[in-house]
Chain A
Amino acid sequence: MSASTYTNVLGLAAAAVLLCAVVTLWRRSLGAIVRTLAVQGAALACVATVIGLHEHDVGLIVVGLLVLGAKAVVVPLLIGRVVRHDPNSRETDPLVNVPASLVAAGALTFLAFAATRSVTSLVPTTAGRLIPIGLAAMLVGFFALVTRRKAVSQIVGILLVDNGVALVAFLATAGVPLLVELGASLDVLLAVIVLRVLAIQMRSRLGSFDLDQLTELHD
Chain B
Amino acid sequence: MSTISHVIGTGISSAVQVAVVAVGGPVLVGVMRKVRCRLEGRVGPPVLQPLVDIRKLFRKQRFRPDQATWIFTLAPVMLVATVVVAAAITPLVTTHPALRASSDLFVLVYLLLVGSTLLALAGLDAGTAFGGMGSSRAVTIGALAEPALLVTILALSTTAHSSNLPAIVSAILAHPESVATPQRLFALGALLIVIVAESGRLPVDNPATHLELTMVHEAMILEYAGPDLALVTVGEAMRLTLLLGIFVNLVAPWGVATSTSVSGVVVGLASVVAKVAVVGVFLAVFEVFIAKVRLFRVPELLAGAFVLALLGVVSGLVAK
Contact = CB atoms under 8 A, between A and B. Distances in A.
Interface of A: 4-5, 7-8, 11-12, 14-15, 18-19, 22, 26, 98-99, 102-103, 105-106, 109-110, 113, 129-130, 132-133, 136
Contact of B307 (A4, A15, A106, A129): A106
A26 B306 CA distance: 12
Interface of B: 177, 180-182, 185-186, 299-300, 303-304, 306-308, 310-311, 314-315, 317-319
A133 B318 contact: yes
B61 to A, nearest CB: 46
Contact of B177 (A4, A19, A110): A4
A132 B303 CA distance: 22
Contact of A15 (B300, B310, B311): B311
B307 A105 contact: yes
A136 B318 CA distance: 12
Given A8-B177, A8-B181, A15-B185, A132 B304 contact: no
Nearest 9 pairs between A and B by C-beta? Answer: A15-B182, A99-B303, A106-B310, A102-B303, A4-B177, A102-B307, A106-B307, A98-B300, A11-B182
Contacts of A102: 300, 303-304, 306-307
A22 B31 CA distance: 35
Given A15-B311, A26-B300, A133-B314, 13 more contacts: A5-B177, A11-B182, A11-B315, A12-B180, A19-B308, A102-B300, A103-B303, A103-B306, A106-B306, A110-B314, A113-B314, A113-B318, A132-B314
Contact of B311 (A26, A109, A129): A109
A3 to B, nearest CB: 9
A118 to B, nearest CB: 15
Contacts of A98: 300, 303
A99 B177 contact: no
A59 to B, nearest CB: 27
Contact of A22 (B185, B300, B311, B315): B311
A101 to B, nearest CB: 9
A132 B310 CA distance: 14
Q: Which of A99, A110, A129, A132 has the most CB of B within 10 A?
A: A99
Contacts of A11: 181-182, 315, 318-319
What is the interface of chain B mostly: helix, strand, loop, or mixed? helix
A143 to B, nearest CB: 12
Contacts of A26: 300, 304
A136 B319 contact: no
A132 B180 CA distance: 20
A7 B178 CA distance: 10
A22 B303 CA distance: 11
A99 B300 contact: yes
12 contacts: A11-B318, A12-B180, A15-B186, A15-B315, A22-B311, A26-B304, A98-B300, A106-B307, A110-B310, A113-B314, A113-B318, A130-B318
Contacts of A110: 310, 314
Nearest to A120: B318
A219 to B, nearest CB: 43
Given A12-B182, A15-B182, A22-B307, A133 B315 contact: yes
A99 B315 contact: no
Contacts of B181: 8, 11
A96 B306 CA distance: 17
A14 B185 CA distance: 13
A15 B317 CA distance: 13
Nearest to A105: B307
